[in-house]
């Protein structure tokens, strides 16, 4: 097998908080792959491709706010990323930049660890909501979107999802409720009014907040109502495992990669 060059990075703004370098470097050293993973604060998404090439990188992860720019920067986009139109993992393959989205399958793996899911209500209508909606639809899961304002709902309505703002919402039971809004990240606020959220969570089987390392008001409410609930750490871990699998051309067992990357969360 042709050996890849070995420098990888995460591009984003900000990136100082990112745990990705730790995850990937634990896995490189644990698995004996001669790789090094660093972080690079990229202010302009339009510079992504040039920076990738200037730094002679073998692969990158891309975080906020450049996932759409990353989609445009690639020579070829594969898998679910084509539907989502957002890329968080790029590898270099025979001189071409190939893009993937590993957030969506990473989240799915975390969600399915709860058990079977036949329906999901997604709170928020941004980039993460698009990724989750696309992967759940692919799995045949009934998917609804609930957002505080109507502007971003058009994307979902045009694709045939049930998509409502708080005013239009009619109660219905869903197996899983996911918070993809940033409510709870800075301020201690719920992602939707209590009179909508409480019945939604009471009728649900599971809850996930994609925000990680934080007991958000959403997670606290789900737990108060006795629901199995988790934060976004597992999503972060699994998106990293799938990205690493692309970086290293599928040469390692995913369980092994997961075992090494978990150390970053200890």
Q: How far is the CB of 231 from ligand NDP (least distance, A)?
A: 8
Binding site for ligand NDP (CB under 6 A): 64, 103, 124-129, 147-149, 151-152, 180-183, 185, 189, 191, 210-212, 232, 235-236, 239
Q: Nearer to ligand NDP by C-beta: 99 or 191?
A: 191
Supply the angle between the helices 217-224 and 194-203 in degrees, to the nearest 10: 50
Alpha carbons within 13 angstroms on the beta-carbon side of residue 193 total 9
How far, in whole angstroms, is CA 132 from its chain's centroid?
8
Among residues 2, 51, 67, 230, which one is catalytic? 67
Distances (CA, A) of 248 to 51, 115, 260, 262: 21, 30, 14, 18
Peptide bond into 65 cis (omega under 30): yes
State yes or no: is 96 an active-site residue.
no
Q: Which residue is closest to ligand NDP by CB? A: 126
Q: How far is the CB of 181 from ligand NDP (least distance, A)?
A: 3
Please name the residues in contact with 116: beta carbons below 8 A apart, sequence gap of 6 or more: 175
Helix (H) or strand (E) holding 179: strand 176-179
User: Rounded to whole angstroms, how far apart are CA atoms 22 and 244?
Assistant: 12
Q: Nearer to ligand NDP by C-beta: 17 or 250?
A: 17
Q: Nearer to ligand NDP by C-beta: 77 or 211?
A: 211
User: Rounded to whole angstroms, how far apart are CA atoms 104 and 143?
Assistant: 14
Q: Which two tokens stand for residue 46?
A: 């339009």
Q: How far is the CB of 182 from ligand NDP (least distance, A)?
A: 4
Q: Nearer to ligand NDP by C-beta: 34 or 194?
A: 194
Please name the residues in contact with 221: beta carbons below 8 A apart, sequence gap of 6 or more: 190, 194, 197, 198, 201
Of the candidates 142, 145, 126, 106, the residue with the CA atom closest to the CA atom of residue 20: 106
Of the candidates 172, 188, 185, 175, the residue with the CA atom closest to the CA atom of residue 228: 175
Q: How far is the CB of 203 from ligand NDP (least distance, A)?
A: 20
Q: Which two tokens stand for residue 212?
A: 């990680």
Q: Nearer to ligand NDP by C-beta: 104 or 141?
A: 104
Q: Nearer to ligand NDP by C-beta: 55 or 64?
A: 64
Instruction: Return phi, psi of residue 73, to 5°.
Output: -80, -15
Q: Which positions are catalytic? A: 67
């Amino acid at each position: 097998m042709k050996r890849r060059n070995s420098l990888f990075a995460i591009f984003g703004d900000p990136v100082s908080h990112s745990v990705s370098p730790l995850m990937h470097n634990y896995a490189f050293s644990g698995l004996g792959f001669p790789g090094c993973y660093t972080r690079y604060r990229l202010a302009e998404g339009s510079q992504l491709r040039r920076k990738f090439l200037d730094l002679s990188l073998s692969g990158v992860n891309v975080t906020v706010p450049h996932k759409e720019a990353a989609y445009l920067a690639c020579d070829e986009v594969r898998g679910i990323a084509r539907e989502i139109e957002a890329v968080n993992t790029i590898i270099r393959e025979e001189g071409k930049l190939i893009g993937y989205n590993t957030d969506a399958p990473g989240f799915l793996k975390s969600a399915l660890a709860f058990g079977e899911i036949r329906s999901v209500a997604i709170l928020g209508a941004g980039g993460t909501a698009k990724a989750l909606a696309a992967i759940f639809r692919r799995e045949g899961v009934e998917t609804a979107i609930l957002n505080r304002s109507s502007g971003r709902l058009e994307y979902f309505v045009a694709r045939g999802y049930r998509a409502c703002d708080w005013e239009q919402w009619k109660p219905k039971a869903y197996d899983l409720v996911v918070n993809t809004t940033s409510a709870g990240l800075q301020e201690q606020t719920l992602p939707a009014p209590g009179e909508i959220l409480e019945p939604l969570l009471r009728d649900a089987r599971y809850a996930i907040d994609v925000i990680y390392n934080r007991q958000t008001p959403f997670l606290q409410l789900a737990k108060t109502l006795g629901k199995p609930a988790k934060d976004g750490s597992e999503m972060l871990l699994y998106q990293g495992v799938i990205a690493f699998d692309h970086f290293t051309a599928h040469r390692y067992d995913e369980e092994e990669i997961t075992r090494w990357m978990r150390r970053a969360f200890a």
